[in-house]
Structure 1
């Protein structure tokens, strides 16, 4: 009797996890051709981005990042620090790994923008869509990031494809939320004035609401980049190349020094991306 009071009854337990696994595996087997086509397309996109980055001479990339750092901060020493930071990564022997990481981040951010921006607009304009999509976003945002890795691996195997899929799912939420928030909080008088002067709802959205919401939308882009950056490191567990894989290998070998350098490199790249996008947000606000 005491066991039923202090311990949850065994008879009430059910194994839902196995059922979900069976459904995902069955879907994977039945749609293998489609999944392989998606995998090939994603790998081609990532390789194309990586190839473009490889075509840029290292010193040109350093100069461009240094100039952008100066441009957004209006301080020469900030640009010099950004350039020197990239030189430090290259001197650590991690330049190629950095480009591989950035390639996946760029692909994930582009995919997040293509999917998240219209979803955010849909939520802002439709209460029914909001009631359906917002709980899904809450679930995606609170779900531990490692959970996304398992179905991605089941469907696409290990490598860059599941890394991109998992990173996109993890990073898309702030893009959707901030787009919706920005458009929803555009001044109502401004929207009414646009409609009163004969604009259709679509015209008011494109010419008034989206431009007015752009600083908030850019904040969503910034957060999407940061979340993609953090997730792509975790994706080293499923075979994603780059700085995350270097950390994983060094951790498995218990080599603190070799884990520290790629860790610092990730921080450098994340800080540079964050500061540059924050600078773009401030420029947008000034223009507005």
Structure 2
């Protein structure tokens, strides 16, 4: 006696078809907005001479992390420029910043709701577990179905893959705010919004920044995978090197990703420390 197979795949495809049919204007709007933001950032980074952009990033790194971070940023970006991957690296940076911004704008409010309402947390937590354990390649299929090929499905797939740390650590940070401070705010007659903005968020910012840091790193890890569906940048060079078995090209393109990853990682960490001191 054979047990009938549960048609999960058919249900998912039916849902996908229904969404494509009924929400096509919404997906077109998202594609237009996200595509415009990524293209605008990439054009902005590539509009100025590379040395000017390197100088700006170096000054920012020096302000955040003093000499070591400033020196690494300067030498790392000069290496990227020397290897010939400057334009593609800026395209990758635009994609990562867009995906990270969307993840923060969506993830932080959801994390706050999870901290304030246990029912929301009980619903969101299994979804986050699914998002973090599902193979990243699976996200490419619905992204391509809804947004076709290009940079937009790459951004959307990156958001889905990288948003869980922001949600989880925001929720954790809000819940870890000392109860006596929350009770004191209530005693002074603070509204829920005043309590959140003036008490909970300032204390929770370091932990929230740790979640944002992880989100940025996960977005960068999706760069190569996103290149498989048309997202441009250094990931496309890495993917091309893999398909053509060119170890040298892959190493050079990989170094560009490493420089970008370390630079963004250290900058967000230093920014979190500055906020904690203040």
Q: CA deviation at 1:128?
A: 1.2
What is the alpha-carbon distance in structure 2 between the residues aligned to residue 78 and residue 218 of structure 1?
Answer: 18
**1:108/1:252 CA distance change after superposition, 3 Å:** same
What is the alpha-carbon distance in structure 1 between the residues aligned to residue 126 and residue 11 of structure 2?
Answer: 23
SS of the aligned residue for 1:238 comes to coil
SS of the aligned residue for 2:228 comes to helix
Could you tell me which runs of 5 or more consecutive residues in structure 2 were left unpaired when the two chains were aligned: none
Does residue 265 (structure 1) correspond to residue 256 (structure 2)? The answer is yes
What is the alpha-carbon distance in structure 2 between the residues aligned to residue 137 and residue 78 of structure 1?
Answer: 33
What is the alpha-carbon distance in structure 1 between the residues aligned to residue 177 and residue 3 of structure 2?
Answer: 54
Indicate if the aligned counterparts of 2:223 and 2:234 stay in contact, CA closer than 8 A: no
Q: CA deviation at 1:137?
A: 1.1
SS of the aligned residue for 2:163 comes to helix
- Once superposed, what is the RMSD of the aligned Cα atoms? 1.6
What is the alpha-carbon distance in structure 1 between the residues aligned to residue 41 and residue 259 of structure 2?
Answer: 20
What is the alpha-carbon distance in structure 1 between the residues aligned to residue 68 and residue 203 of structure 2?
Answer: 33
What is the alpha-carbon distance in structure 2 between the residues aligned to residue 222 and residue 159 of structure 1?
Answer: 26
Indicate if the aligned counterparts of 1:174 and 1:220 stay in contact, CA closer than 8 A: yes
Partner of 2:29: 37
Indicate if the aligned counterparts of 2:174 and 2:200 stay in contact, CA closer than 8 A: yes
Q: Which deviates further from its counterpart, 203-212 or 30-39?
A: 30-39
Does residue 224 (structure 1) correspond to residue 215 (structure 2)? The answer is yes
**Residue from 74, 87, 100 that aligns with 1:96:** 87
SS of the aligned residue for 1:154 comes to helix
**Residue from 158, 162, 165 that aligns with 1:167:** 158
Indicate if the aligned counterparts of 1:194 and 1:208 stay in contact, CA closer than 8 A: yes
Could you tell me which runs of 5 or more consecutive residues in structure 1 were left unpaired when the two chains were aligned: 1-8
The TM-score, its normalising length taken from structure 2, stands at 0.94
Rg larger in 1 or in 2?
1
Q: CA deviation at 1:201?
A: 1.8
Indicate if the aligned counterparts of 2:69 and 2:266 stay in contact, CA closer than 8 A: no
Q: CA deviation at 1:63?
A: 1.6
The TM-score, its normalising length taken from structure 1, stands at 0.91
**Residue from 184, 187, 205 that aligns with 1:214:** 205
Does residue 145 (structure 1) correspond to residue 142 (structure 2)? The answer is no
Q: CA deviation at 1:25?
A: 2.8
Q: CA deviation at 1:66?
A: 2.0
**Alignment size in residue pairs:** 278
